[in-house]
Amino acid sequence: MLIDLKNDLATKTPKDIYHKYLLGQNVWYFKEHLKSPDPSKAYDEFKYYISNGLDIHFNNIAIIGSAKTGLSFSPRKKLRPFSSESDLDIVLVSQKHFNRFWNAYSEMYYRQIPFEEYQEVYKSIFKRFISLKNPTEKHKDIKEWVKTVNPFVKDLQQFFGIAQDINYRIYDSWESVEKYHYFGITQLKNFVTNNKEKEMQIGAIITSLINNANDNN
């Protein structure tokens, strides 16, 4: 897959790559990591569980990141393979939940209540998502969220075999999900293209050295 992905990054548009690799029912985590006999069914059951627990429509839930493809699409991680240390990134598209937690963090800020994830929230809020992983529990809405999702840990382990930490990313719309990933894929394309040029340059140097050595002989 890595070779195909690198070729696609060099030739396809960010939109094409997003639709090919990051959407749909084909989830690497269920197929390759958990070895589910029916990965598509397991993914549907997982989404149904999350949908019921969080009151978010089934179609507005998706696994993303390295658990989706086996490789990280983050420009910072540069196609790093999924590992036992990786989180399970879940996209939740809900204007209601996004506004709820935007207001919660806004209230904490103006009431001068410190929270460790300030920088992370500050950077992500302008990208129209809020990441909830071990949030500071100093607001009633965040406390309620933690109380809701904490039982998920045991259930996901027992019923699905999922041992990874869950990172919930709440977006205000699918358009924001697309924009975020189009931007990241563009950066990843640039990285792959630059590396390919360097590889070609190194290859040309090695070929030249070999030819010179043969000529001397």
At 10-58, the pLDDT tens digits run 889 999 999 999 998 999 999 999 999 999 999 999 999 999 999 999 9
pLDDT digits (tens, 9 = 90+) for 151-180: 999 999 999 999 999 999 999 999 999 999
Torsion from C-alpha of 152, 156, 157, 161, nearest 10 degrees = -170
- Quick one: which H or E segment has residue 97? helix 95-110
Residue 57 has φ and ψ, to the nearest 5°, of: -60, 140
The β-bridge partners of 131 are 169
Note the pTM of the prediction, 2 decimals: 0.85
Cα(209)–Cα(11) distance, rounded to whole angstroms?
31
